[in-house]
Amino acid sequence: MTTKKSAELLERLAALCIAFKLPTLADQLGPRFVNAGHADELELLVETFELEAGDRRERRVDRLRRASKLPPGKTLETLDLTRFPKQLAAKMKELAKGGFLERADNVLCFGIPGVGKSHAAAAIGHALVAQGHSVFFTPTFKLVQDLLAAKRDLKLSRALRTLDFFELLILDDIGYVQQGPDEVDVLFTLMAERYERRSMLLTSNLVFSEWNKIFKDPMTTAAAIDRVVHHSVILEFADVTTFRGEAAKKRARTTGDESQAPTP
């Protein structure tokens, strides 16, 4: 074995030991093999450690997927990206790489019901989980009710710390939150807690000018918008036919009755 290859294997072996949180092995295992005259066995040793690393990655992804509550099957592979404008589809693919998580950026998806916002959000979430990122998907109204219950039990801080574990929090259909003052308070508290620290992905059929329907008070509305927009990527699902519209078009093509197909 060449000195160069041996050095590369020693470096890789040490890196794997560090990843496994085995600092003593990182320092001692490789050099001891070489000093004992077993340098030729380094490649087999590294391959064995890499098998362990692969198994750990798979187990971690499985745990993250279960914890994410992401709707099964709602992935990029099952999302017909040809339905969307090219720029929008390109943004989705870029977000699925996860770079925005490092910057604690938010993602905001706007569009009328039925255009695929929730599927797109879940698909991005699934792609991130596959890379080892922690994601949590929830209907906004359900999370708000859970936080209200925690607040009543004087456990709101604990609930927020639990959510802080997730690198990305996907709040689906923020426009459907019940607009009582208590609901608004816990939702705003959540946004403030994650601001510039952790990412959120929101889907909404209400544009910003209509968020007063959610937060009621103009100052609270402005403050909420400011926090989610400051570092954000906006996905506008405009010029996208709804799924029901697509189905109607297909039926019309099948029957030959184009008059039944809705106009875009």
Residues 6+ apart with CB under 8 A from 148: 182, 183, 186
**Chain segment 163-211, per-residue pLDDT in tens:** 999 999 999 999 888 778 899 999 999 999 999 999 999 999 999 999 9
Q: Is the pLDDT of residue 143 over 90?
A: yes
Residue 3's pLDDT is 81
Q: Is the pLDDT of residue 237 over 60?
A: yes
Q: What is the mean pLDDT of the chain?
A: 89
Write down the domain spans for the chain: 3-67, 69-245
109 DSSP β-pair partners = 203, 235
Residue 241's pLDDT is 76
Residue 254's pLDDT is 58
**Chain segment 32-58, per-residue pLDDT in tens:** 988 998 888 999 999 999 999 889 989
Residue 262's pLDDT is 52
Helix (H) or strand (E) run with residue 202 in it: strand 199-204
Cα–Cα distance measured from residue 121 to residue 216, given in angstroms and rounded to the nearest whole number? 26
∠143-201-75 over CA atoms, to 5°?
100
pTM: 0.81
Band (259; pLDDT cuts 50, 70, 90) = low
Residue 176's pLDDT is 85
Band (65; pLDDT cuts 50, 70, 90) = very high
Q: What is the mean pLDDT of residues 90-119?
A: 95
Residue 94's pLDDT is 97
Superfamily of domain 69-245: P-loop containing nucleotide triphosphate hydrolases (3.40.50.300)
Q: Is the pLDDT of residue 146 over 80?
A: yes
Q: What is the mean pLDDT of residues 217-243?
A: 88
Residue 247's pLDDT is 54
Residue 264's pLDDT is 45
Q: Output helix, strand, coil percentages for the chain, rounded to the nearest 5.
A: 60, 10, 30
Burial of residue 69 (CB within 10 Å: 0-12, 13-18, 19+) is middle
Q: Is the pLDDT of residue 151 over 70?
A: yes
Q: Is the pLDDT of residue 256 over 70?
A: no
